[in-house]
Amino acid sequence: MRDDDTLSEAFWAVARRLRHRTKASLEPWDISPSLARAMGVLSRHGDVRLSVLADHLHIVPRSATEVVDDLERLGFAERGPDPTDRRAVLVGLTPAGIETSRAIQAARQQESERFFAELSDADRSELVRLLGKLREA
């Protein structure tokens, strides 16, 4: 950290660098970070209702509908009936969505490894510990 940086400035500068590198890692799929996040949620949680997807993404249900519309247009997600409530709809990844989600996760993991490569194992552990404290606060 430079002497003239505040903690907040340093944090946001690193966050911006990481966000730009993450966005660049998604270029082969021509997909936005928000769509990639939604695919990650669906990959981890399986078929879910739109409201559950919205909760995981911290967005309003109307926005989740638009995200799913975009994923459907790309062939990565599909809507289907909820077997426990015929009025409800579940959203899940298609086989192409599952494959793409796995590829995106691998690319993001590689980019993350490159990004944090300058840190020692001890520094990485300390950073994880500190960020965990902030996340729980």
Tens digits of residue pLDDT in 19-42: 999 889 999 999 999 999 999 999
* All structural domains of the chain with their residue ranges: 7-136
Which amino acid would we find at residue 117? A
Which stretches of the chain are assigned E, i.e. beta strand?
A: 48-49, 77-82, 85-93
The CATH class that applies to domain 7-136 reads mainly alpha
- Sign of the alpha-carbon torsion through 63, 64, 65, 70: positive
DSSP state of 15: H
Percent of the chain with pLDDT over 70: 97
On the question of pLDDT at 5 being above 90, the answer is no
Task: Give yes or no for a contact between 35 and 93, defined as CB atoms under 8 angstroms apart.
Answer: no
Residue with structure tokens 């879910």?
A: 48
CB atoms closer than 10 angstroms to residue 121: 7
On the question of pLDDT at 93 being above 60, the answer is yes
Question: Which of 73, 75, 52 is closest to 64 using CA atoms?
Answer: 52
pTM of the full structure: 0.83
CB atoms closer than 10 angstroms to residue 16: 10
DSSP state of 117: T
Q: How far apart are CA 61 and CA 50, in angstroms?
A: 6
- CA angle in degrees (0–180, nearest 5) for 129-118-3: 80
Confidence of residue 3 (pLDDT cuts 50, 70, 90): low
- HSE-up of residue 25 (Cα within 13 Å, Cβ side): 23
On the question of pLDDT at 80 being above 90, the answer is yes
DSSP state of 79: E
Rounded mean pLDDT of 67-92? 95
